[in-house]
Every structure is written in C-alpha cells, then in structure tokens.
Structure 1
Amino acid sequence: MRAVEQRLLARHAACLEQVELGRLPEAGRMAGRALAAARRAGAVEVAAKLHLTLAWVELDRGRPDSSTRHLDAALPGLTGNDLARANCLRGLHLCLHAEPRAAVTRLTAAIRELRRCGDQWWLANALVGRGIARAYALRPAAADADFRAARTVLLAIGERDRAAMCLHNRGFVAMVAGDLPTALRHYEDAAREGLAAVRRPEALIDRAEALLAAGLVGEAREVLAPAITLLDRCDRGSRMPDAVLLAARCALADNDFPAARALAERAARIFRAQRRDPWPSNAVALRARWATGERPRAGRAAAECDRAGRPEDAAELRLAAGLPVPRRGGTARLRALSLLDRARRAPDRRRAAAACRAGLALVDPHTWPGTELRSIALGHALAHGDARAVLRWSRVEAPAAAPVSGRLAERLRSARGRGDQDRVVQLEREIRRLSLAAPRTAPPAAVPSGTTLLAFTIHNGHLIAVSVVDGRCRLHRLPPVDHHVHALRLAVETGHEDAVRASADALDALLPPTGDGPVTITGGPPGLPWAALPSYRGRPVSLGAAPPDADPPRTHAWIAGPDLVHADREVADLRRAHGGTVLAGRAATVEAALRAMDGVDVAHLAAHGHLRGDQPLFSSLQLAGGPLHGHDLDRLARPPRIVVLSACDSGLAPAFLRRGAKAVVASTLTVPDDRAPALMAAFHDGLRSGLGPAAALADAQVRHGDRRFSCFGPG
C-alpha cells in the first residue's frame, strides 16, 4: 500500500509543477486521474490532498462551485498543515466574492497555522491572499507589508518568479492608494526581475489598468489584448471577466461606446456563469448607453456596485447619470470622484474651488477626473474675472526624469537600424511606461521682480492669457491665433520680409501688452517665433519659466553631428573662442556625447533634428552611429545648465528641461545651415560677457536679424 501511495504522491507533485507553470487544464486532468486512482486504492489521505489541489485549480479557472465541492470533499481527510491550506483556500474564495474583511480574518488564522507548521510555500500563498484582501479593504499599508513578507518567504525558498509577482502586487497596492508613479515603478521592477507574463497574465491586466489610469488608453488596450489571449489559453477563468471588463473600460475611455457596451455585456455573462456579481459590468454598459444619448435608470446599478464592493464603478456611473455621489472615504480616486461631484454641484465659487483643490491633491491633473476638476476651478475663476486665480489654476506639475537604461536605449537604436518596426513599437511602449513611472516635479516658481509674465491657457476651446506687468495682474480673453501663427511661421521660413512684417503686426495686435524688459511666457501658442513680433524684438524672452542666473559659463561641450556642412567649423570655432571639449565626425557618438555633456555649464549641439510630434521622448538629434533620443538624456547624472540646439526643430527642448537643464536655446523652424555659425558665435559671446541665455539670444538675434530661435526655461 505504501508503494502505491508513494506513486500517487509523485503524480500529485507533478500536478503541482503544472500548476506552477500556469498549465491549469493539464494540472486538472492529471489531478483528476490521480484522484480516481487514489479512490480505487483506498488512499484516503492522498485523495484529500488531490481534492485540495483540484480546489485550488478550479478556483483559478473561475469555477468556484466546483472548487467548493472539492474543498468540502477534502476536509474530512485533512490534518495539520493540509487543513491550514484548506483554510487559506476558504479565504481566497471570500476574496473572489468581494468579502475582503471576512477573507482577512480567515487568512490571518491560516497564516498562524502555516507558520506553526513551517509550510513556507502555502504561507506565501496566504500572505499574498491577505495582501489582496487588505488592498480591497482599503488598508494599503497593511497590504504592502503582507506582500513584502510574502516576497521574503519566496526568495528564501528559491521561488524567484513568484517573488517578482509580490513586487508586482506592491504596485497593485500603490494603484489602489492612488500613487500611479510608484505602481508603475513596481511593475517595471517586477518585469526586470523576470516576472513571466506568459504564466501570470494577471500582471498584464494590472499594468493595463495603470496605463488606463494614466490616460494612455491605446497603450492599455495593446497590453490587455495578449493578456486576454493568455488567460484563454491557460484557462485562467477567474481573471477573465476582470480582463474583459477592463477592455470595456478602455473602449469607454476611447469613446468607442458600442464596443464598450458589447464588452461589458460579455463580462457580465462570464461573471454570472461564475456565480459572481455582474453589476460592475452592468455599470459600464449603462455608462456607454448614457454616452450615446440613452437615459436608462442607473440608481439600482450604482447601489448594487456599492453592495458588491465596487464603489468606484458606482461613483462613475452616478457621475455619468447626474446622480449625487455619496461622500465617503476609500481610495484616492474614489474620494476624488466624490469631490468632483461636490465641485459640480457647489452653489458658489468658494466651495467649488475648495472641492477642486482637495480633489487635485489626490489625482493626476493631466488625466480625468483631474482634468475636469481643474476645468471647473478655471471656469469659476474666469467667470469672476480673477486673473490671479486663473494663473494659479493654470499651473500643473511636469514629469521628471524617467529611469531609462542605456541598454534599453541601445536596443531601440538597434531595432531602428534593422528596420524591425514591431520591436521598435514594443520598446517605445516600454520607454513610455518608464516615463510615466517618473515622479512629478513642482511647477516653476514665480518670476523675479522686474520680469513680465505672460501665461496662456485654454478653457473650453477658448484661448485665455494672464499678464503680470509691474506687479499688476490682468486677464485677457483672446481670439483664435492659430492662423496668424501659421502665417508668421511660413513667412519667416520663406524669408519674405513684407509678409513677415504684415503677419507679425497682425498677431502682435491680438496679444496683451507686456511693457518693456525681460518677459517670461508660459503655455504660449506652440512654434510661435516670438523674436519676429515687434513688441518682443530685442527683448529677453524665456519660454516656460524665469531665465537662470547670468553666471558666465566655465565649462563647455561642443558636439557636431554628421551631414551638416558648417557644423564641424561651427563647433571648432566655438572651441577656439571658449575652450572645452569638442566632438565631431565619428567621435560624436551618443555615448560620447552623453559623457561630454554630463555636468558642464553649456552643451552646444549642431546636428540634424527629427521632431516626433508631441513626443519629446522619441524626438532626436542625428549623431555618429545613430540618433540621440529624448529618453537618452535621462542617463545624465547632472544635466548641462544651458543647452544650445543649433539645429532645425528637434523637439528635444522639453526633454532637456525635464531632465533639469535651466535653459534651452532651440529653433522652432528650419535653420539655414550657413547662417547658424555667426548667430551662435554672437550668442556665446553674450553668455561670456555675463548676459543670461534669453538676453544673449535677443542681442544676437537683433545683430544678425534671425528670428528662428527661442529660449526655453524650466517646467
């Protein structure tokens, strides 16, 4: 008999290996055959173990009734640590059915027993389960502690893949707490530690949810599609309805309302088949119907979502249907949704602004509901003609540097060189995710006295400006200027002076007066050559923030890219005049350029630029051996204080500023190759004489008649 039991236990161990590999159908078949053999042999204890394993497999496959039957069948034959494992499974059942507090109680008891028995593998399972339950119970600190403890246990027994999943789960907790950058950092760290998405497609679901929260709907849908395919292939039914529901949310955010409704209804069918609550799916379907002009009743669905432990679904449905959102605690996003409803319904400006301020402290102002909170506050400030409040609500934080490795950047350059577009898309997606994981930096400080401020913002499609001249703040509602900006750019590009004067005069007349002296401009019309406007010609103009201190630079890096006729001469002449390091020809590689720029006062790059729309991460300058992309700059330990991009519009100014440069001189138009050297020589002479970057550029432009360059500041 003992030999039979040993063979059955060996088959059980092989079944557990299949579970760990994510092959649930095969694990179920193996366990079922072994269970039948154990029954024939009268091996009661082995049969109980196999029932317990089948309960685990069936729960993961989304078959809770079958899992419960196996668990009930196992209990009479279980003792010791196997009984503690059964209690752990009972707790996981409660998690699945949205009963997190009961799950925590059950799992805490299981954890005590598993520790006493020394069952490390199942102890980690119970800690992970309790961490998930605590996250759903809105106890993020306790949940994070459970995942850290589970990770320590798993590393000790050599389960590195599952330990990486614990790190990923810490990202899930950060998501629940409303800390999106931390969530994304944990997800990326888990991937670097070798988390195998093929075996754990739930990791892709969590990542897609984070991308959706960050407003990257297309990215979320791209990550979610393979997750659904993998869940189907692995027969991981327990997560399938959550994945389909998330796909419905993505479609809703993408204004694809028919797809959102169809996906939500599909998710509801799967939830019902698993005897789980379908109301979250019903809520998304109802939101899609409201978005297309239907007016179905939403109150019951919202109440059922609350009852099912999905208060965010309930709040979003109530907001869509115009129903009051209860004031409550919970996740940061849930509190923000409640504050959004309060801001919408506020009877006066003071209470609306207070709700907006509190809500924006909880969520990213660049994504909904943060965008709507900011819009409501701006609307009230505009309605009251409060210029200072408009200026205050217009300022938002900017992303800081992203932790993009040199190896990842080289893989992207290599893929581009091979023309492997699929790999390029994949690597760019990874870099974009890393960028999202970067923390936000505070908006720039107020400009110093004596500097005029002109701040632009758009509200409900209308261009608004606030000017601060001699300490006096004024509000200006402007007509559309895009046509005038386009006409002026075209005139400057073609060099038709009469057209330049006519376009510049027409646009200048539409903009607010800003007096004389230095001027700082934020949020202005993109691509506008300010130096061409009569009111700004010869004035130090800084785009983005106040110009940095005018300390004469001491260290320089001069870098020339290939295929520019005058670039080598330009950097050689500047090196003779000001000293420093020069890179040209084959020596001007990306790696050499990054080393030369790190920590210098001035980095001057003369190279062909490639603008990638509004994506500074992937805009570039052409150097020897390949392009220098915006994301490459995140490897600089100390960015240059002043950067000069003697090139056509490369789109890299925001990337240098995000990394911490104090000023970037760059063109927003095509730069004639033969005209740049003289202008740049005059600009650097001005810096050496003690002028700030904006003043040095203004002086050089007046002397050489150039209008193509602008000075950008931090933020």
Structure 2
Amino acid sequence: MVFAAPNDALARAEGVLGADPSPLHASVAHQVIGIWQRDWGDMRIALHHLRRARDLAARADSADREADVLAALGVALVHAGRTQQGLAALERGVERGSGHTRARVLFRRAYARWVLGQHREALEDVRRAIPVLRQADDVIWTARALTLRATVHVAMGAVDRAEADFTAAEALWDTTGQELDKADAVESRGLAAFRSGDIPKALRLLDEAEERYAKLGTPTFMLNIRRCEVLMAAGLAPEALAEADAAIAVLDGIGGQSTRKAELLLAAARAARLAGDAHTAIARADMAVRLFAGQRRSWWETHARLVLIEARVTAKRSSGRLMADTAAVAERLASFGAPAAPEASLLAGRIALNLGWSTEAERHLGVAARSRHNGPPLARMTGWAAQALRARVVGSSRGVLEACRRGLDVLDAHRMTLGASELRARATAQGAELAALAQQASLDSGSPRRLLVWSERWRATALSTPPTRPPADPELLSDLTAFREIAARAEEARRDARPVPVLEREQRRLEREIRSRTLHLRGDTPGDGHRFDPGRLLDRLGEEATRLVELAVLDGRVQVLLCGQGRVRRFEAGLLAEAETEAEHVQAGLRRLAHPGAEARLPVVEAAGRRLEELLLGPAAAHLGDGPVVVVPPARLHRVPWALLPSLRERVLSVSPSASGWLRARETEPPPGGRQVLVRGPGLATGGAEVPHLAGRYSGAVVLEHADACVARVLEELDGAALAHIAAHGTFRPDSPLFSSLRMTDGPLIVHDFERLDRSPYRIILSCSDTARFASVGADELLGLVTALLPLGTAGVVASAAPVNDAAVVPLMLALHKGLAAGLPLAEALRDARAALPADALHLATSWAFTAFGGA
C-alpha cells in the first residue's frame, strides 16, 4: 500500500503502532514508515524506523520478515551514502530469505546496484529474480522487476531491449492499483524515449508522470533529474539548471536522499556548463564528484569528473594534467560500457588539439568517431564532430566538409521530429561547431561561393518549414482563452495601481501549461536538407538587379559575402563584439529620439550609424551598386536598424534571416482575392489614427476595432489575407519570446496564436514599437513575432526594431500604404515613405526604426 497510496499507508502504519501490536505486525508498520521517509522524507528518521523493524523481525523469529526488512534497510543505507553498510544488509537479506521473499530481496539489491551504477551486477540480480516472481504469480513485483531491468538497459544504451521490458511491465501494471509504480513506469518510458532521440514524446511522458505523482502527493526528485536531461538536449539548459537547483533546495529542506542530491548536482553542473556558466558548473560538478566518491559510486563519479573537466575546458583551461585526466575518464567510461564514453574521447581530442599534440588528438578523435554510425542522433553528432576535427588534424578540407555535412544531416533529421518552433530553433545549437568548422574550411579554401553555401547551411533553419500546427486540442484552446483573460485582468490592475501577484502567478501557470502542450508536438514535415543553390540565388538577383549581402562571423570577425552580377565576392569587415556594442548605442539613441526635445542626439546617432557601416560592411559598402539591397545578418545583429547605415539609407532595403528565406519569399504567390484586413487595438496614444484613413483607401477592407478587435475574430480574418495592417501595442518577452504579443480588446494575441493559422497574411504591417524584436537562440536562430509569420506564408513584414513615436508613425504608415496601393513592393514603398517624411530628428528616427523583412 505504501506505493499505491503512500500517505494512507503512513497513517495506517502509525495507527497499528498505537494499538500495541505483536512484534511481527510492529515490524511491518515500522518498515512502512521507514520506506515512506526513505523515499519522500528524512533519511535519519527512515533509518531509525527500518532498524527498529529489523530488530522486531528478529524478535518475531521470522527469517523471511527479517530478509524483507534488511532489503529495505539496505536500499535506504545506499541512498544515505553508506554504500558498504547498505550492500552488507542486502547480502544478509539474500542469505536470510528463501524462495519468493529471496527474489524480492534480489530485486532490491538490483535496484541498489543500479543506483550505484553497477549495471552488469544489477542485470544479473534482476534476471535471477524475475523467473521466481513470475512462478509465484506476483504481478506487482514482476512488473517492478521488468521496469527496473528496462531502466538498466536504458542506462547501458540498449533502448530496444528496454522498450520490450517496458511494454511487458505496462501490461502488468494495468491489472494493478499500484499508482506510484505506474507513475514511475511512465517516467522511465519518458527516459527511454529521450535516449532513442524522441524529445517531444519524452517531454509528454515526463509531464504525464508528474501529474500522476501530484495526485499522490509525493516528491519527484528522480523525475527532476530526468527532465533536466531532456531539457538540456532540447536546448533549454537555463531551465534545467533552475529545476535542478530548486529540487536540491527541497531535498536539503527535508533531509532527503544523499544519492539523489549527488545526481541533482551532476544535472545542475551539466546544465550550467551548457548555459555558459563555467563557474557554477565547476562548483556543482566538484561537489558531485566528492559526494559520489564518498558513496562509492564509481560509475557516477566518473561521469561527474567528465562534466568537471568539460567545465574547466569551457573556462579556457588546458594542460597536460587535464589531458591525462580526460583520457583516464574516457577509458573508465568505456570499461563501464557507458554511452558517454565517445563524448569523453572527443573532449580528450579537443584538449590535445589545444595543446598542439596532433598524434594524441588523432588517436582520441578516432575512438570518438566510431560512434558516428550508431545510436541516437546526438550520439552520432558526437562521432561526426570527432571525424571533422580528425580530418582537420590531417589537413583534409574535403574530409572536414564531408563530416560536417553528414553530421548536420543527422541533426536536421532529428530537428524535424520536433513540432515546436522553439525546440527546432534551440536544437540547432548542437550543430554550431560543425557549421563553424565547415565555414572555416570554406574560408581557408578561398572560395566565397562555398563559404556562402555553408553560411546558409545552418542559418535560420527553424524558418525553413512551418512548425507543426497545434491540433484542435480543447484543453489548449481553453488554456489560451484563460491566459488571455488573466493577462487582460492583470494589465487592467496595473493601470489602476492595484496589486497583481495572484493574477501574475496564475498567468505564469497558464503560460507553463500552454508551452508544455506545444513542446509535446511531434514534427510532421520532412526536412529538405537545406540544399541551397547559389546559382539559383544569383539568377534571381540578376533578374531584379539586386545585391544580397550575407554576413558570416568567423573567429569573431564579420565576413561580408556580396552576391550579385553573377558572382559572390568576400570582404572582411570589423569585429562582431564591437558591432554589437555599437548597435546597443544606436538603440539607446533611437529611444531618446522617439521623444520630442532630443534633437541634439541626432548627430550622435548618425555617427554611430557610420561606425556600424564600417564594422558590418567594411569595403563592401563601396560595391553595392545602385539597385535594391537585401541584408542577411546573423541572429546576434537582429537589433541593427539597417536603414540608418549611410550606404543603405536611401535604398530599397529589405532584411531576411537567410538567403534561402528571401528566395522562398520572392517565390511565394499572394492568395487569391486580395483581401485587406485593418486592425486597431486598444490604448494607443494616437488611437491608431492611420486606420480610418486606410479604410477609406482600401474599399472593401475588413476593419476590426473596438469589440471586433478580439483575438478570435482577428485570427479568423488574418488567415489567408493578402494584406494586414495591425495598429496595436506590442510587447516583446525576452524570457519567453513565443508569448510576445499584440494587445487586442480581449487580451494579448501571442505568437502561439499565429502558429494556429493555416496561412498567415501575405503581407503584414505592424505599426507599433518593438514588434521586430527577437530572441537569439540556438546556432543562428530568432524567435519573435516576425519570425513566427515568415514560415506560415507571409512573404513580407514591416515592423519596428526600436521604440517609436506614435504620432510620427501615422504619416509614415500613410505614405507606406500609398506606395503599396500604387503596386510597389514593401521595401520600395517603405523607402519612398521615408523620403516623404519631414527631415526632423523625430521623423528620421521613426523611419529608421522600421524595417521591411522578407521579399514581398
């Protein structure tokens, strides 16, 4: 009962002890209390009750009762970090037990050995236990043993064997009322899904397990550890670190299992390293190493040492001693048969390369490269990364490019199994090194065209195909409606200076629910392999007398690839870090200029624009010709107001996340019917003054304002429109970019809403501040309102990358639509609209803030 209804079992056991029981019954009651405290409470209290249960079993003169208690005590001692005492108690339990009871003790010893990382010994014990449990028709313990054997298989990388055992166990669990064991089985299947490379399924199963645990009111430390692993693989390392640290705090607060604390510290160390926090990673990993060593858990200690070394390398430490330590860890992991062994060999090869030890590097990289043909996608990625580095050591440029291509193909296939645009974007971080290696090899070869191909290979890939459209899930729709209502109430309370903590907590809860449901979506669109054809791009540019400027960053310096006139030319510009700093200065200047009275800042902003041009275009600025220009910047430069750069200021200028994306936009056909939709949201300083004028210009346009400007109606009209103009307050959420929003009458219209459209508008104009702000994630990806629209059928967007003056926006928008009504493309209409404005600081800053994205 302690695993079916834990809290009820605890109350029953305490009731038994209050009724003057016999030694036999008192032993059972103390054991139940001990198990409850062992798994969900204070280990000191657990050990006290389990020792009392052992003594009472001896008094009752029941060998099987004593064996059973010794098994529970042995597991508790192992979890408390007293490994030798725990294994001794389990050994004594095996000796005292017989038949069916002995099989149960063998199962517990197998579990303890799994905790210790002694996987082969664990398999032997559980294999001995299962036939006896089956013969005794003990459904519950047979299911537990099958679940444990599957979990050990997962740890050893044998996922296919694990799935067979999980399936058999699940069939048995369905015949029992053991709700805690069922939850544990769902959690373990989530881990197996993760090990096989299915992240959406893993997240779904872990969330299901959490719901089951919540109904039982039990803590979930093992679940926390497993979810951390999945979150890290999904590119969500900061979330994994926060989850691990929060679980550690809870565990410390209840005096819980020392073994779980060590595992949580290891998860936190891995997450901190992936999040770029080497100091925290070193601190957490060092603590984990010491705890595992004290617990005599060699398998775990070796994994913690690997993370500690990785963190030190991230902190720019390399030495012969570190090289030797890494080689020893790799050898130890290989002896365990651990799936992480190739990762350690790859790290040893990297360190050897840093030290200039080519022979050593080639040897370790060769070992790591063996994993490139087998295992889940991320393991094969490790192998291809090793193969690429190995080819570079021997000076084979062709070998480097081939390994990079094969590795990115593996990751691309994996990425397309992810339905959520956020996960697709973040997953690209795994391929950043391969993309950089290929670009460097291309640069070294002296071929600008080849460098362009590899610059495109791993750029803005999340925008290459639309995210999986969420199903008509009633619970998701309900959560979205509730979120909108709560967000609107919170906004109203803030305006009235009323307290909002309760509303904010509920809003955050609903955001978590919505995000969780979208992350569960599995990809349903095959990848196209990103076979970018520079010839097709050059032909299209030639037809339109357009130049495309793609900026690649290698070793921190901007490389300008100027495409046009049938060729690709390369120019070297400035340092990316300096350009980013200058872009922040420009943003600050534009914020000031958005308010009257800041005219004195105009020369400062213009000077910053000249410096940006030197850093970002360098000598290429003199070769742009006279025609339209398309700029393809890296994600880290998404906040640059490109129209401020002197050589681009009076041009037909558009920006695209990738050259491939620009080509797709140019080839996107507008929808039939030419329907226009004009939306005016609440609370604008100008009241969306341009909308009534535009309604007069576009006869038959759908105008949504006041009560009609609600989310459901707006989405209905936007779907498949030819042109949409939305005048509404925009809010960018850097902490959660897919909750960036436009304020409608009934609350925020968020990115998740746009992703439910069958086809977003062919052209869309967002006339308010900061609607073109993005979060830079993954290798070179952007998440935000504009990037949500581009894969859904939108060929062109006009939006603002900086705060703007609402009053100055109105004439700009009217002039823009005048050009569109005359049949001009978005970029050309925006260029003409800038020229039509007064030349004062306020209007200049407003016009520079707006950018045309895409190719329509």
TM-score tier by shorter-chain length is 0.7 to 0.9
Q: Which residue of the partner structure matches residue 443 of structure 2?
A: 382
SS in 1 for 2:384: helix
Answer with 87-96 or 107-116: which moved more: 107-116
CA-to-partner distance for each residue in 1:391-414, whole Å, 9 max, x for gaps? 222232227658775168446666
Q: Which residue of the partner structure matches residue 208 of structure 1?
A: 228
Equivalent position to 1:142, from 161, 167, 171: 161
CA 1:311–1:244 in structure 2 vs 1: closer, same or farther (change >3 Å)?
same
CA-to-partner distance for each residue in 1:118-143, whole Å, 9 max, x for gaps? 43332332233222222222222333
- In the TM superposition, residue 606 of structure 1 has moved relative to its aligned partner by 0.3
Q: Is the contact between residue 648 and residue 669 of structure 1 (CA under 8 Å) also seen in structure 2?
A: yes
Q: Which residue of the partner structure matches residue 302 of structure 1?
A: 330
Q: Which residue of the partner structure matches residue 267 of structure 1?
A: 288
Pairing of 1:543-562 with structure 2 (within 5 A): 543-544=656-657, 545-546=661-662, 547=665, 548-551=668-671, 554-562=674-682
Q: Is the contact between residue 603 and residue 644 of structure 1 (CA under 8 Å) also seen in structure 2?
A: yes
Equivalent position to 2:344, from 306, 310, 314: 314
Aligned residue type for 2:638:
P
Aligned residue type for 2:333:
C
SS in 2 for 1:465: strand
SS in 2 for 1:239: helix
Aligned residue type for 2:790:
L
Aligned residue type for 1:559:
V
Return the alpha-carbon distance in structure 2 between the equivalents of residues 124 and 407 of structure 1.
41
Pairing of 1:436-515 with structure 2 (within 5 A): 447=537, 449=540, 450=543, 452=546, 453-479=548-574, 507=613, 510-511=620-621, 513-514=623-624
CA 1:383–1:424 in structure 2 vs 1: closer, same or farther (change >3 Å)?
farther
CA 1:155–1:472 in structure 2 vs 1: closer, same or farther (change >3 Å)?
farther
Equivalent position to 1:280, from 291, 303, 325: 303
SS in 1 for 2:370: coil
Q: Which residue of the partner structure matches residue 406 of structure 1?
A: 480
Q: Is the contact between residue 487 and residue 747 of structure 2 (CA under 8 Å) also seen in structure 1?
A: no
SS in 2 for 1:617: helix
- In the TM superposition, residue 274 of structure 1 has moved relative to its aligned partner by 1.9
Bigger proportion of residues as helix: 2
Return the alpha-carbon distance in structure 2 between the equivalents of residues 413 and 62 of structure 1.
51
Structure 2 length normalisation: TM-score?
0.71
Q: Is the contact between residue 146 and residue 168 of structure 2 (CA under 8 Å) also seen in structure 1?
A: yes
Answer with 654-663 or 449-458: which moved more: 654-663
Return the alpha-carbon distance in structure 2 between the equivalents of residues 434 and 511 of structure 1.
47
Q: Which residue of the partner structure matches residue 630 of structure 1?
A: 751
CA 1:149–1:463 in structure 2 vs 1: closer, same or farther (change >3 Å)?
farther
- In the TM superposition, residue 529 of structure 1 has moved relative to its aligned partner by 4.3
Pairing of 1:558-707 with structure 2 (within 5 A): 558-575=678-695, 577-579=698-700, 581-585=702-706, 587-590=708-711, 592-598=713-719, 600-612=721-733, 616-624=737-745, 626-636=747-757, 638-650=759-771, 651=773, 652-657=785-790, 661-677=794-810, 679-680=812-813, 683=816, 693-694=826-827, 697=830, 706=847
Equivalent position to 1:541, from 642, 649, 654: 654
Equivalent position to 1:231, from 241, 251, 255: 251
Equivalent position to 1:371, from 422, 429, 432: 432
Question: Does 1:50 find its partner at 2:69?
Answer: yes
| Count of aligned residue pairs for this structure pair | 713
Answer with 20-29 or 577-586: which moved more: 20-29
- In the TM superposition, residue 227 of structure 1 has moved relative to its aligned partner by 1.7
SS in 2 for 1:622: strand
- In the TM superposition, residue 458 of structure 1 has moved relative to its aligned partner by 1.5
Q: Is the contact between residue 655 and residue 853 of structure 2 (CA under 8 Å) also seen in structure 1?
A: yes
- In the TM superposition, residue 379 of structure 1 has moved relative to its aligned partner by 0.9
Equivalent position to 2:852, from 705, 708, 711: 711
Answer with 12-21 or 454-463: which moved more: 12-21
CA 1:205–1:227 in structure 2 vs 1: closer, same or farther (change >3 Å)?
same
SS in 1 for 2:806: coil
Return the alpha-carbon distance in structure 1 between the equivalents of residues 747 and 212 of structure 2.
29
CA 1:46–1:93 in structure 2 vs 1: closer, same or farther (change >3 Å)?
closer
- In the TM superposition, residue 351 of structure 1 has moved relative to its aligned partner by 1.1
Q: Which residue of the partner structure matches residue 85 of structure 1?
A: 104
SS in 2 for 1:351: helix
SS in 1 for 2:560: strand
Return the alpha-carbon distance in structure 1 between the equivalents of residues 808 and 450 of structure 2.
44
Q: Which residue of the partner structure matches residue 352 of structure 1?
A: 400
Q: Is the contact between residue 549 and residue 629 of structure 2 (CA under 8 Å) also seen in structure 1?
A: yes
Return the alpha-carbon distance in structure 1 between the equivalents of residues 742 and 261 of structure 2.
44
SS in 1 for 2:561: strand
Q: Is the contact between residue 241 and residue 270 of structure 1 (CA under 8 Å) also seen in structure 2?
A: yes
CA-to-partner distance for each residue in 1:404-427, whole Å, 9 max, x for gaps? 751684466666765437777777
Q: Is the contact between residue 550 and residue 687 of structure 1 (CA under 8 Å) also seen in structure 2?
A: no
Q: Is the contact between residue 58 and residue 66 of structure 2 (CA under 8 Å) also seen in structure 1?
A: yes
- In the TM superposition, residue 600 of structure 1 has moved relative to its aligned partner by 4.2
CA 1:616–1:519 in structure 2 vs 1: closer, same or farther (change >3 Å)?
farther
SS in 1 for 2:737: coil
Q: Which residue of the partner structure matches residue 157 of structure 1?
A: 176
CA 1:707–1:118 in structure 2 vs 1: closer, same or farther (change >3 Å)?
same
Gaps of 5+ in 2: 1-20, 353-360, 416-425, 471-475, 494-498, 774-784, 839-846
SS in 2 for 1:238: helix
Aligned residue type for 2:684:
L
Question: Does 1:240 find its partner at 2:261?
Answer: yes
Aligned residue type for 1:200:
T
CA 1:523–1:120 in structure 2 vs 1: closer, same or farther (change >3 Å)?
farther
Q: Which residue of the partner structure matches residue 149 of structure 2?
A: 130
SS in 2 for 1:209: helix
Return the alpha-carbon distance in structure 1 between the equivalents of residues 631 and 510 of structure 2.
35
SS in 1 for 2:403: helix
Return the alpha-carbon distance in structure 2 between the equivalents of residues 707 and 551 of structure 1.
30
Aligned residue type for 1:390:
L
Q: Which residue of the partner structure matches residue 90 of structure 2?
A: 71
Q: Is the contact between residue 741 and residue 751 of structure 2 (CA under 8 Å) also seen in structure 1?
A: yes
Q: Is the contact between residue 670 and residue 762 of structure 2 (CA under 8 Å) also seen in structure 1?
A: no
Question: Does 1:342 find its partner at 2:390?
Answer: no
SS in 2 for 1:49: helix
SS in 1 for 2:559: strand
Return the alpha-carbon distance in structure 2 between the equivalents of residues 209 and 588 of structure 1.
43
Return the alpha-carbon distance in structure 2 between the equivalents of residues 265 and 535 of structure 1.
52
- In the TM superposition, residue 381 of structure 1 has moved relative to its aligned partner by 0.8
Aligned residue type for 2:406:
A
Return the alpha-carbon distance in structure 2 between the equivalents of residues 712 and 355 of structure 1.
34
- In the TM superposition, residue 378 of structure 1 has moved relative to its aligned partner by 0.9
Aligned residue type for 2:441:
H
Q: Is the contact between residue 721 and residue 760 of structure 2 (CA under 8 Å) also seen in structure 1?
A: yes
- In the TM superposition, residue 224 of structure 1 has moved relative to its aligned partner by 0.9
Q: Which residue of the partner structure matches residue 11 of structure 2?
A: none
CA 1:692–1:258 in structure 2 vs 1: closer, same or farther (change >3 Å)?
closer
- In the TM superposition, residue 311 of structure 1 has moved relative to its aligned partner by 1.2
- In the TM superposition, residue 374 of structure 1 has moved relative to its aligned partner by 1.7
Q: Which residue of the partner structure matches residue 170 of structure 1?
A: 189
- In the TM superposition, residue 646 of structure 1 has moved relative to its aligned partner by 1.4
Return the alpha-carbon distance in structure 1 between the equivalents of residues 582 and 318 of structure 2.
41
Q: Which residue of the partner structure matches residue 14 of structure 2?
A: none
Return the alpha-carbon distance in structure 2 between the equivalents of residues 596 and 25 of structure 1.
64
Q: Is the contact between residue 171 and residue 184 of structure 1 (CA under 8 Å) also seen in structure 2?
A: yes
SS in 2 for 1:511: helix
CA 1:195–1:138 in structure 2 vs 1: closer, same or farther (change >3 Å)?
farther
Aligned residue type for 1:523:
P
Q: Which residue of the partner structure matches residue 633 of structure 2?
A: 523
Structure 1 length normalisation: TM-score?
0.83
Return the alpha-carbon distance in structure 2 between the equivalents of residues 221 and 406 of structure 1.
27
Gaps of 5+ in 1: none
CA 1:487–1:5 in structure 2 vs 1: closer, same or farther (change >3 Å)?
closer
SS in 1 for 2:240: helix
- In the TM superposition, residue 615 of structure 1 has moved relative to its aligned partner by 5.8
